[in-house]
Amino acid sequence: MIESASYIPHTVPMPDDGLCPYCGVAMDGTYPAVNAPVIDHTIPLSKGGRHTPDNTLMICNRCNCIKRDRPVSYLLEKLHQSGALAKT
Ligand SMILES: [Zn+2]
Q: At 5, is the pLDDT very low, low, confident or very high (cuts 50, 70, 90)?
A: very low
Residue type, 16: D
Q: At 88, is the pLDDT very low, low, confident or very high (cuts 50, 70, 90)?
A: low
| Spacing, Cα 1 to ligand 1 middle (Å) | 39
Average pLDDT over every residue of 71-76: 96
Give the structural domain span for 25. 13-83
Closest CA to 75 of 40, 48, 51: 40
Q: Is residue 44 part of a domain?
A: yes
Q: How far is CA 9 from the centre of its chain?
A: 16
- What are the two backbone dihedrals, phi and then psi, of residue 18, each rounded to the nearest 5 degrees? 70, 10
For residue 41, is pLDDT > 90? yes
| Spacing, Cα 30 to ligand 1 middle (Å) | 14
Number of domains, the chain: 1
| Spacing, Cα 2 to ligand 1 middle (Å) | 36
For residue 4, the model assigns a pLDDT of: 46
| Spacing, Cα 41 to ligand 1 middle (Å) | 14
CA separation for the pair 52, 59 (Å, rounded): 16
Residue type, 57: L
For residue 53, is pLDDT > 50? yes
Q: Is residue 39 part of a domain?
A: yes
